[in-house]
Amino acid sequence: MRGESYRPHAFLAAMLGWTWALWLPVALFGLDPWSGPGRTLLYLGGIGPLLAGLWFQHRYSAGRGLRDLWVRLVDPRRAPVWLWCAAIALIPVLSLTAHSLLALTGSTLPEITLPGGSWPAAVGFAAFIFLLGPLPEEIGWRGYGLDVLLDRHAPVLASLILAAVWGVWHLPLFAMEGYYADFGGPPVLWLFLWSILMKTLIMTWGYLVSERSLLLMVVFHFMVNFTGEMVVMPPNAEFVFQALLSIAGFTAAAYLMWWRRA
């Protein structure tokens, strides 16, 4: 246990304050988030979880905590093979299953797109979204935030707190004109927030089962983002996907409640 010296809620407040302070001007002043000063503010705001996670880790544990974070980020042996397969396949399988169930009722088969239209472009796009979201975010969200929340709260409550802040953290993006233009348009807000909650529960389960593997969290987060770009999800398929994701999320929550008692 880390004791009272750690400040999980201060971390969440600092990270949220940093990001919103940089993202809100982009939305309020109608700046283009993908060019000029708008892009600079977008990228600087996006590394809020990274900066806050590293600073708080250093502030309250110095080299010991940073070394632990590094090991969790680069060591794939913390998670068994079956868990790696689950992290990579879960979201694509749920997406394709949603489409397949609808196909049984006469709907069209899923449309799978290659970002950029070619494999080189797709690889470049994958690297872009990896560096834009999963890697810097997870160093904060799970690398520090979840890790210390679990010292204060039961896993389900820690997940609810983290999911709430994670969802609120994204809200300025919905107000930025043109941010979602290259991503097929903005998602439905309440479904987006609900999916964050379900994914957070799943990720907390994976985090505990994998002995706190941060690398596993980064890979799962990346698969969420990349699958969303490859598998076109019309509204009817989206609702089925969210229902399947909810089953996985509630199953994870049931395990987390058992884990706490154990």
- Is position 123 within any domain? yes
The answer to whether residue 112 scores a pLDDT higher than 70 is yes
pLDDT reported for residue 119: 77
What pLDDT score was predicted for residue 118? 76
pLDDT value at position 7? 83
pLDDT for position 100: 86
Mean pLDDT estimate for the chain: 90
What angle (nearest 5°) sits at the alpha carbon of residue 242, between those of residues 90 and 117? 65
| Residue 3 to residue 148: CA distance in whole angstroms | 9
Q: What residues pair up with 184 in beta bridges, in sequence order?
A: none
In a domain, 3, yes or no: no
Count Cβ atoms below 10 Å from residue 253 Cβ, excluding itself. Answer: 21
Structure tokens at 120: 């080189």
In a domain, 1, yes or no: no
Tokens of 80: 């068994």
Rounded to whole angstroms, the Cα distance separating 92 from 11 reads 32
Provide the pLDDT for residue 262. 46
Question: What is the number of domains present in the chain?
Answer: 1
DSSP 3: -
More confident residue, 235 or 221: 221
**In this structure, are residues 245 and 94 in contact, taking their beta carbons and an 8 Å threshold?**
yes
Q: In this structure, are residues 180 and 173 in contact, taking their beta carbons and an 8 Å threshold?
A: yes
Q: For residue range 127-140, what is the model confidence (pLDDT) as tens digits?
A: 988 988 999 999 99
Are the C-beta atoms of residues 177 and 42 closer than 8 Å to each other?
Answer: no
Least confident range of 42-51, 129-138, 147-156, 179-188: 179-188
Q: How far is CA 257 from CA 100, 122, 247, 253, 261, in A?
A: 32, 40, 16, 6, 7
pLDDT of residue 109: 64
Q: Is residue 2 part of a domain?
A: no
Give the domain extent around 197: 8-261
Average pLDDT, stretch 46-64? 90
Q: Is 188 within a domain?
A: yes
In a domain, 198, yes or no: yes
Within a 10 A sphere around the Cβ of 157, how many other Cβ atoms?
14
| Sequence-ordered alpha helix ranges (H) in the chain | 8-28, 36-46, 48-74, 81-103, 119-132, 134-140, 147-152, 155-175, 189-209, 214-230, 235-261
